[in-house]
Amino acid sequence: MPSGKATSSDVAAAAGVSRSAVSFAFNNPQRISVATRERILAAAEELGYAPSTLGRMLQAGTTGSIGVLLPQGLGRILENPYYSRFLMGAGQVCDQEGYTLLLTPPLQDSVLKAIPYAAVDGFIVCGLEADRGEVAELTRRGIPFVLIDSDRLEGAPSVEVDDRGGAREVARYLLDLGHRRLAVLSMDPGAEVPVRGYRGPLARRLAGIADALTDFGLTMADVRLAEVPVTRSEGYRATVGLMSGDEPPTAVLALSDVLAYGAVDALQELAIKVPAEVSVTGFDDLAESSWFRPRLTTVRQPIVTKGRMAADFLISAIRGEAQHPHQTLGTSLIVRESTAKPA
Amino acid sequence: MPSGKATSSDVAAAAGVSRSAVSFAFNNPQRISVATRERILAAAEELGYAPSTLGRMLQAGTTGSIGVLLPQGLGRILENPYYSRFLMGAGQVCDQEGYTLLLTPPLQDSVLKAIPYAAVDGFIVCGLEADRGEVAELTRRGIPFVLIDSDRLEGAPSVEVDDRGGAREVARYLLDLGHRRLAVLSMDPGAEVPVRGYRGPLARRLAGIADALTDFGLTMADVRLAEVPVTRSEGYRATVGLMSGDEPPTAVLALSDVLAYGAVDALQELAIKVPAEVSVTGFDDLAESSWFRPRLTTVRQPIVTKGRMAADFLISAIRGEAQHPHQTLGTSLIVRESTAKPA
DNA sequence: AACTCCTATTGAATCGATAGGATGTGTCGC
DNA sequence: GCGACACATCCTATCGATTCAATAGGAGTT
Is the peptide bond between B294 and the residue preceding it cis, with omega within 30 degrees of 0?
Answer: yes
Residue A336 placed within a domain: no
* Coil, strand or helix at B62: coil
B194: Cα within 13 Å, side-chain hemisphere: 1
**What CATH number is associated with residue B177?**
3.40.50.2300
What pLDDT was estimated at residue A81?
95
Query: Is strand D less than 7 A from the beta carbon of B9?
Result: yes
* Closest chain B CA to residue A3: B142
Residues B143 and B96 in one domain: yes
Q: What are the phi and psi torsion angles at B146 (to 5°)?
A: -130, 135
Round to a whole number and report the distance in Å from the CA of A17 to the C1' of D10. 8
A263: left (phi over 0), alpha (psi -120 to 50) or beta: alpha
CA distance B312 to B65: 13
Residue B1 has pLDDT above 50, yes or no: no
DSSP state of B324: -
Contact B75 A81 (CB under 8 A): no
Q: How far apart (Å, rounded) are the C-alpha atoms in residues A239 and A279?
A: 12
User: Beta strand A297-300 with A332-334: parallel, antiparallel or unpaired?
Assistant: antiparallel
Q: Which residues of chain A have a CB within 8 Å of the CB of B52?
A: 58
User: Which has the closest alpha carbon to B74: B87, B57, B91, B89?
Assistant: B87
B170 lies in the same domain as B287: yes
The span from the CA of A104 to the CA of B64, in Å, is 11
pLDDT in the model for residue A53: 97
- Please list every residue in chain A whose beta carbon sits closer than 8 Å to the beta carbon of residue B293: 291, 293
Flag if A88 and B81 touch (Cβ within 8 Å).
no
How many degrees, rounded to 5, is the angle at CA A276 between CA A270 and CA A280? 70
Average pLDDT of A317-330?
90
pLDDT digits 0-9 by tens, B266-313: 999 999 999 999 999 999 999 999 989 999 999 999 999 999 999 999
Q: Is the CB of A36 under 7 A from strand C?
A: no
B23 touches strand D (CB under 7 A): yes
**B30 CA, D26 C1': separation in Å?**
19
The helix or strand, by DSSP H or E, that contains position A296, with its residue range, turns out to be none
Three-state secondary structure call for residue A107: strand
**DSSP annotation of B238:** H
Q: Are B162 and B207 in contact (CB under 8 A)?
A: no
DSSP secondary structure letters along B98-163: T-EEEEE--BTTBHHHHGGG---SEEEEES--TTSSHHHHHHHHT--EEEESS--BTTB-EEEE-H
Chain A contact probe: residue of B3, B26, B53 with most A CBs at under 10 A: B53
Look at residue B261 and tell me if it is in a domain: yes
Q: How many CB pairs under 8 A join A and B?
A: 162
In this complex, the answer to whether residue B18 has its CB under 7 A from any atom of chain C, a nucleic strand, is: yes
Q: Is residue A287 assigned to a domain?
A: yes
Give the residue with greater pLDDT, B132 vs B52. Answer: B52
CATH at B37: 1.10.260.40
Exposure class string for B314-339: b at 16+ Cβ within 10 A, else e? bbbbbeeebeeeebeeebebbebebb
Q: Is A337 domain-assigned?
A: no
Torsion, Cα A219 A222 A228 A232, to 10 degrees, reads: -110
Q: What is the mean pLDDT of residues A20-44?
A: 92
Nucleotide nearest to B31 in CA–C1' terms: C8
Per-residue pLDDT reduced to its tens digit, B300-313: 999 999 999 999 99
- Same domain flag for B72 and B125: yes
CB atoms within 10 A of CB B171: 28
Nearest Cβ partner of B101 from A63, A74, A98? A74
Q: Across chain B, where does the E strand assignment appear?
A: 65-69, 100-104, 122-126, 145-148, 158-161, 182-187, 224-228, 251-254, 279-284, 297-300, 326-329, 332-334
CA of B118: which chain A residue's CA is closest? A53
pTM, 2 dp:
0.94
Instruction: Give the pLDDT of residue A322.
Output: 74
Residue A254 phi, psi dihedral angles, 5° rounding: -90, 145
Nucleotide nearest the Cα atom of B5 (by C1'): D16
Mean pLDDT of the region A115-124:
97
Taking the C-alpha atoms of residue B251 and residue B182, their distance in angstroms, rounded to an integer, is: 5
pLDDT in tens, B20-68: 999 999 999 989 999 999 999 999 999 999 999 999 999 999 999 999 9
Contact A138, B53 (CB under 8 A): no
Length, in residues, of chain A: 343
Residue B31 CA distance to nucleotide D28 C1' (Å): 22
| Number of structural domains chain B divides into | 3
Contact A170, A283 (CB under 8 A): yes
Q: Is the dihedral of CA A308, A310, A316, A319 positive or negative?
A: negative
Distance CA B160, CA B327 (A): 6
pLDDT value at residue B129: 75
| Domain residue limits at A102 | 65-161+303-329
Nucleotides of D under 7 A from a protein CB: 7-12, 14-20
Distance A29 CA to D6 C1' (A): 17
Coil, strand or helix: which one is B318?
A: helix
Contact B78 A84 (CB under 8 A): yes
Same domain assignment for residues B266 and B199: yes
Residue B103 has pLDDT above 50, yes or no: yes
Same domain for A233 and A256: yes
Residue nearest to nucleotide D8 (CA to C1'): A32
Domain co-membership, A178 together with A236: yes
For residues A111 and A134, state if they share a domain. Answer: yes
Report the protein residue whose CA lies nearest the C1' of nucleotide D10: A18
**Any atom of strand D under 7 A from CB of B55?**
yes
Indicate if the pLDDT at residue B122 is higher than 90. yes
Q: Are residues B146 and B236 in the same domain?
A: no
In a domain, B2, yes or no: no
* Chain B partners within 8 Å of A288 (Cβ): 288, 291
**Residue A51, C-beta contacts closer than 8 angstroms, at least 6 positions apart:** A8, A23, A26, B116
C24 C1' to A18 CA distance, Å: 14
Q: What is the distance between the terminal CA atoms of chain A, rounded to a whole angstrom?
A: 78
For residues B23 and A7, give the distance between their C-alpha atoms in angstroms, rounded to a whole number. Answer: 26
Nearest chain A alpha carbon to B115: A53
Q: Alpha-carbon distance B225 to A117, whole Å?
A: 48
Q: How many other C-beta atoms are found inside a 10 Å radius of the C-beta of residue A205?
A: 28
Residue A17's pLDDT band, with cuts at 50, 70 and 90, is very high
- Comparing CA positions, the residue from B79, B126, B97 lying closest to residue B257 is B79
Q: What is the mean pLDDT of the segment spanning A240-253?
A: 95
Q: Model confidence at B2, in pLDDT bands (50, 70, 90)?
A: very low
Q: Strand D proximity: list residues 54-83 of A with CB under 7 Å.
A: 58-59, 61
Distance from CA of B87 to the nearest CA of A (A): 7
**pLDDT value of residue B294:** 95
User: Does a structural domain hold residue A167?
Assistant: yes
> CA nearest B80 in A: which residue?
A84
Q: What is the pLDDT of residue A113?
A: 95
* Separation between the CA of A39 and the C1’ of C27 (whole angstroms): 24
Indicate whether A133 and A27 sit together in one domain.
no
Asked if residue A2 has pLDDT above 60, the reply is: no
> What is the signed CA dihedral for A136, A137, A140, A144, rounded to 10 degrees?
-90
Q: Is the CB of B141 under 7 A from strand C?
A: no
Radius of gyration of chain B (CA): 26
For residue B339, being part of any structural domain is answered with no
Phi-psi group of B127: left, alpha or beta (phi > 0 → left; psi -120 to 50 → alpha; rest → beta) = left
Among candidates A211, A223, A140, which has minimal Cα distance to A179? A223
CA distance B172 to B151: 24
Instruction: For chain B, give the mean pLDDT.
Output: 93
Residue A107, pLDDT > 50, answer: yes
Substitution target in A8, A82, A88, A121 with the highest count of B β-carbons within 10 Å is: A88
- Pair (B110, B234) in one structural domain: no
Residue A340 falls within a domain, yes or no? Answer: no
Chain C footprint positions (protein CB, under 7 Å): 7-12, 14-21
Q: Assess whether pLDDT exceeds 80 at residue A1.
A: no
Contact list, A59 vs chain B (CB under 8 Å) = none
| B280 and B223 share one domain | yes
B12 touches B51 (CB < 8 A)? no
Q: Are residues A189 and A287 in the same domain?
A: yes
Residue of higher predicted confidence among B1 and B285: B285
Interface contact flag, A107 B87, Cβ < 8 Å: no
CB of B24 under 7 A from strand C? yes
Whether the per-residue pLDDT at A194 is higher than 70: the answer is no
| Diameter over CA atoms, chain A | 89
B158 near B306, Cβ under 8 Å? Answer: no
Q: How far is the CA of B34 from the C1' of C5 (A)?
A: 21
Residue A298, phi then psi, degrees to nearest 5: -160, 170
Of A4, A65, A78, the CB nearest to B87: A78
Average pLDDT over residues B91-108: 97
In angstroms, the CA B123 to CA B145 distance is 5
Share of chain A above pLDDT 90, in %: 85
A11 CA to D5 C1' distance (Å): 32
pLDDT grade for A52, boundaries at 50, 70 and 90? very high
CA distance B223 to B175: 12
Nearest CA in chain A to B62: A54
The rounded distance, in Å, linking the Cα atoms of B321 and A33 is 44
Question: What digits encode the pLDDT tens for the residues B134-185?
Answer: 999 999 999 999 999 999 888 889 999 999 999 999 999 999 999 999 999 9
Least confident span in A143-147, A280-284, B242-246 = B242-246
Within 7 Å: CB of A145 and strand C? Answer: no
A5 contact residues in B (CB cutoff 8 A): 142
